[in-house]
Amino acid sequence: MKLTTIGCWGAYPYQDAGTTSYLLTGRDGFQLLIDCGSRAVNELEKEISPLDLDAVIISHYHPDHVADLGVLRHYFQLYPKHLWEPKILPIYGHDEDSQEFAKLTLDGVSNGIAYDVKGTEKIGPFDITFIKTVHPVVCYAMRIVERESGQVLVFTGDSGYFDGLADFAKDADVFLADVYLYEGNENHPAHLTSKEAGQIAAQAGVKKLVLTHMPPLPPAGIAPDNHLEVLRSQTETYSKGIPVELAEPHKSWEIGEC
């Protein structure tokens, strides 16, 4: 399966890049959008037609993960019907926030589906399991297994450190981790640090660690022209030889080749 970055910033879009959103393409061509942050629709258009999406799955309802959901639904609703064959877009999310979950459904356009957080959700060629993360609102990390190939992607959503995340990510081909913070801010109630992400990847024995939900700008004391390389280097210090890469718009990984 193929993972493609649509947006990778945390919190807010910055310059020419948007916030968290990823396209996961199965061997059978199934197109799953993971989160739908700011700029997602425009950036997605550079990869595929948004109308070719088969499903969307949402980790949580903070704006930097759902900002473009409304306009994505408008795309499906208002795109000239003589130019395509309209279909209902399934949007999967948790139902522990009933008000936000209700927004996933738009009559005749999209269907909100509550994913099974205690079992396995089957979406196209993928089997997806979940674990609740440490975050100010309810958020779920996802372990996505392609049934045919057995390849594994683990996406943290947004999360601070907690026991159990390394076990959840065990032996993943790609570990896509929220790293909004630099080393020295450990045990934060919302996000992982570079150090924690590296340690979790090493404990889990993943094949590749990809940093996402990164800060658009660094804290004082770190030069803005190379701050993401500092973040990556800090992470690599603790990953025990596991390769660490930075997400960036339209960068892709063939997961079976990682």
The ranges assigned to domains in the chain are: 2-257
Q: What is the pLDDT of residue 256?
A: 77
**Three-class DSSP category at 132:** strand
Are 255 and 9 within 8 A, CB to CB?
A: no
Among residues 42, 101, 50, 115, the alpha carbon closest in space to that of 77 is found at 50
- State pLDDT tens for residues 167-213: 999 999 999 999 999 999 999 999 999 999 999 999 999 999 999 99
- State pLDDT tens for residues 95-143: 999 999 999 999 999 999 999 999 999 999 999 999 999 999 999 999 9
- Phi then psi dihedrals of residue 131, to 5 deg: -145, 135
Q: What is the pLDDT of residue 214?
A: 98
- State pLDDT tens for residues 202-257: 999 999 999 999 999 999 999 998 999 999 999 999 999 999 999 999 999 999 77
Are 105 and 93 within 8 A, CB to CB?
A: no
CATH architecture of 2-257: 4-Layer Sandwich (3.60)
C-beta atoms surrounding 74 within 10 Å: 14
| Beta strand ranges found along the chain (DSSP E) | 2-7, 21-25, 31-34, 55-57, 89-93, 110-114, 121-123, 126-132, 140-146, 152-155, 174-181, 192-193, 209-212, 244-246, 252-254
